[in-house]
Structure 1
Amino acid sequence: MRGLANRALVAPWSHSLVCPSCSSCLLFQRRQFANSSSTAPPSRPPHSGLAALPSRALLSVSGPDAAKFLQGIITANVSRSDGLPRTDAFYTGFLNATGRVLHDVFIYPFQGGSGVAVEGDGFLIEADAAQVSRLAKYIKRYRLRAKVAVRNIAPDEATVWQAWDDAAASELSPTANGSRMVMKDPRAPGLGYRILQLNNKSPEVDLETSTEDAYTIRRYLQGVAEGQDEILQEQALPLESNMELMNGIDFHKGCYVGQELTIRTKHRGVVRKRILPCMVYERDKAAPPALMYEPDCDSPESLTADMIPGETSIGRFGKRGRSAGKWLRGVGNIGLGLCRLEIMTDVVLPGEQAAATHTPNDEFVLEWGEEESKSSVKVKAFVPEWLRWGLGEAQR
């Protein structure tokens, strides 16, 4: 079953983002450091593929009160304009009482007899596999007297996949067929489709099998964070994590846990930090003109982005001053950072023209480790077109 690209959204994956071959790529010059170990980054991701995502897991929330119950604890709207529960899958998040992100999730509505091994109607919730048990406990805490059943879904019952094909001219049908559920990934153009396979088989899609690493690189190049290693649990704000621009927040729905700060930030505050794709490069090199994934063609012991500790502060190269952001996670020479827009990018925030401190020649650095064996590398942030467009629309 071929065909995954959306005609209305130009696929962002192009040869300008990935070096054409391992032998001819501009080698990312990495510094060796002692007592470090890492697997080599994957080679250049294919332009089409089908990847299993073992980093994601599922639980079910079912019962007569399931829709009403979820409506009060997630950022998206579970109901349609006519008041009935929605039937399409969607992206959303669970927040704590202070408006910090606990879990970023996809939610898939289902009806009894639709292939899901759960009695009655309800929802499958896809979350970070390392945190899904914690999410189940969080949901049960709010259940009280609601007629809702919560159950972890075992891997032999259902699995999560991502499919993409940048060259295709048609779409994969986003409907359930009894053995799977399919949704177009709503977070950024060109990410492809999420597939829930409701058995222990692989999805029957006419695409070559790829890897989760390839999917991760595609996400990083588009600046899309996923899971608690990238959207820091109980620290990250949903707007700083771009959730409202990735179709994960409905600002017109009723009350939900964490709504007060989220609404206030939307209507009265300025979001000065955003998760952005970043490229790391050697200190003695010039800043890269464009975001590009360069596969590791050298020794697997070389310094790669996955070796940089999470939450490492981003500083100005050769200057002192406030932190420009923090590193989140990476692979090869790319990754994600929570970046101050007015310092690291040319984005001008509403009413903040005078406060902008960014200049085109600014450079930034990541430094970590003990003084006697400190490691460092330069880092540059980029603003994807979909995000730049969304920020412009939000300011109107």
Structure 2
Amino acid sequence: MQILPRSAPGRGLSPLPLPFVCQSCQRSLRRFSVTSRRASAATATAPSTPPPSSSPPPSGYALLTSRRLISLAGPDAPRFLHGLITRSVVDESGGAGARHRHNTPVSSHTSLAAGAPGFYSGFLNATGRVLYDVFVYRDTLGISADAADGEAFIVEVDAAQVHTLASHIKRYKLRSKTSFRVLDEGEVAAWQVWDGSSLSSPGSPLLSQLKDSIVLPDTRAPGMGYRVLRRGGASGLDVDLAQCDDDAYRVRRYLLGVAEGQAEIPREQALPLEANMDLMGGIDFRKGCYVGQELTIRTRHRGIVRKRILPCLLYPPNPSSSFSSPPGALEYKPYIISHEGIHGEEGKEELSAENIPANLSIGRDGAKGRSAGTWLRGVGNVGLALCRLQIMTDVELPGETAAGAPFDPTRDEFVVKWGMDEEGGGGQSVKIKAFVPDWMRERLQEGT
């Protein structure tokens, strides 16, 4: 965000129409949007790599180029990390990982027993908003050779935020006997491996042969598979599966409704429960004090989360006869509109979810009213959006009464628009439908 200092020249002398925000407001918790119309248009038309031509294979593995790693070690490292993240690292007596207590809808998936390879968690700010979604691993690779057993960890974070997280750790470190460093990309790499038939346990023959590796079950959603950290960077894994790229992994996540990284979990905006971190086993609701705990616990005990990140399907705004009603299944295709013009115009134009700007408001098709949600990010014809459950889905919230008619999946349609002029004309639009995966619906029912 561009901010003019107090000594900035006057409006008539400034070469650019930059906004002015005083220092008092800069120190407050308010957020100011200074995105220009020109920037939004550039985002909408920015070139992108072609989306995957088909759905990811049922069995495969991918190098996660979108993730980076930080090594954290020292005598105070367990307790230091315990006070910053939403999962427990130490027990009440201070032992590293000796006992884990929790109270989540998926308790069987979130316990951290002694010697477990790691867990899914998050860093929050003081107001309980998500800063970083992370995986935390016990360092069994010997990255920090001088650290004692149980005093070394590896933190996996969004690659675009790795240095920001390092600065965040440095800010809280103070006199803690903890050292940290960002690992080189060629030093250790993160991989995702999935195969529902043979990966029933980390000790399966397929994974047990991996050397110099950390194998962590990814229990965020059924079918996600395993996270693997391995020395040697992008040299490959010795598994008899199809190798895919990061985009194939993204499609797989979107179909399962799993958000990851700041592009899908907006930094300092999303609440951890809105990002489904409670359903994915990323929060320990019984642990002691940590940064952002107060609002997280309050939201949990109120029992009402009106918005959640859900998988969505995008389809043409003026559908052909084959789309006389909203699509009934979440199926991946590389394009929303292929080899035909937008809005019925003639041509060879193709539209993918990657061409749609982020953070667009979702509205009811043909009706005015409050926003139904916010579009986040996608690839091909699928993506993720922060959706109001009572408007875009059939999920019933405890103690809440719907303001209008109940959601009808065969009738209610929603739309995303962008590039409009000041009078609301022109621009482009696509229709969007939210889906509630079976695993999410089950865990929501368990939580209530």
Is TM (by shorter chain) over 0.5? Answer: yes
Q: What's the CA shift string for 1:297-340, capped at 9, x where partnerless?
A: 94595111111111000000011000000000001100000000
Superposition pairs for residues 237-276 of structure 1, below 5 Å? 237-276=271-310
- 1:104–1:301 distance in 2 versus 1, CA, 3 Å: farther
Q: Are 1:199 and 2:232 matched, yes or no?
A: yes
**Are residues 1:292 and 2:331 paired?**
yes
TM-score, length basis structure 1: 0.86
Q: What amino acid is the match of 1:338?
A: L
C-alpha distance in 1 between matches for 2:51 and 2:413:
25
Aligned residue among 134, 145, 149 for 2:175:
145
Deviations 1:26-73 (A, max 9, x none): xxxxxxxx9563332102211111100111000011000000001101
Distance 2:401 2:296 in 1: 24
Number of aligned residues: 360
Change (3 A) 1:184 1:81: farther
Partner deviation per Cα, 1:149-207 (whole Å, 9 max, x = no partner): 01010011100110111333643438896511011111000011101012233222221
Tell me, yes or no, if the aligned pair for 1:106 and 1:127 is still in contact at 8 Å: yes
Q: Could you say which residue in structure 1 is the equivalent of 2:415?
A: 365
Shift of the 346–178 alpha-carbon distance from structure 1 to 2, 3 Å rule, reads same
1:99-136 Cα shifts (integer Å, max 9, x gaps): 0000000000125xx44254313110000001000000
Letter in 1 for 2:414: F
* 3-state DSSP of counterpart to 2:243: coil
Instruction: Give how far 1:284 is off.
Output: 2.2
Partner of 1:13: none
Secondary structure at the counterpart of residue 181 of structure 2:
strand
Measured in 1, the distance between the counterparts of 2:71 and 2:404 equals 46
**Displacement of 1:84:** 2.6
**Which runs of no fewer than 5 residues in structure 1 stay unpaired?**
1-33
Distance 1:90 1:162 in 2: 15
Distance 2:240 2:404 in 1: 49
Q: Return the letter of the residue paired with 1:335.
A: G
1:107-122 equivalent positions in 2, closer than 5 A: 107-111=136-140, 114-120=141-147, 121-122=151-152
Paired with 2:331 and 2:93, the residues of 1 have a C-alpha distance of: 45
Q: Distance in 2 between matches of 1:169 and 1:98?
A: 39
Superposed displacement of residue 295, structure 1 = 3.0
1:60 aligns with 71
Question: CA separation in 2, counterparts of 1:179 and 1:210?
Answer: 21
Distance (Å, rounded) in 1 between the aligned partners of 2:155 and 2:51: 30
The residue aligned with 2:86 is 75
Cα deviation, residue 359, structure 1: 2.3
**CA distance, structure 2, for counterparts of residue 316 and residue 71 of structure 1:** 43
Partner of 1:18: none
Equivalent position of 1:4 in the other structure? none
Match of 1:98 in 2: 127
CA spacing shift, 1:175–1:95, aligned 2, 3 Å: farther
* Pairing 1:183-332 to 2, within 5 Å after superposition: 183-200=216-233, 201-285=235-319, 286-296=325-335, 298=338, 301-332=349-380
Name the CA distance, whole Å, in 1 between partners of 2:124 and 2:45. 38
Q: Alignment partner for residue 189 of structure 2, among 151, 156, 159?
A: 159
One-letter amino acid of the counterpart of residue 59, structure 1? I
Q: What amino acid maps onto 1:195 in structure 2?
A: V
**Cα separation, partners in 2 of 1:42 and 1:67, compared to 1, 3 Å:** same
Q: Give yes or no for the alignment of 1:392 onto 2:392.
A: no
> Which of structures 1 and 2 has the bigger CA Rg?
2
Partner Cα distance (2:406, 2:188) in 1: 47
Give secondary structure in 1 for the equivalent of 2:170: helix
Quick one: which amino acid aligns to residue 266 of structure 2? L
Q: Does 1:40 align with 2:50?
A: yes
Paired with 2:190 and 2:290, the residues of 1 have a C-alpha distance of 27
Which deviates the most, 333-342 or 293-302?
Answer: 293-302
Rate the CA distance shift 1:301–1:354 in 2: closer, same or farther, 3 A: closer
Task: Pick closer, same or farther for the CA change 1:127–1:368 going to 2, 3 Å.
Answer: same
Q: Distance in 2 between matches of 1:264 and 1:346?
A: 25
When the two chains are superposed, the root-mean-square deviation of aligned CA atoms in Å is 2.1
Q: Could you tell which deviates more after superposition, 328-337 or 198-207? A: 198-207
Helix, strand or coil for the counterpart of 2:71? strand
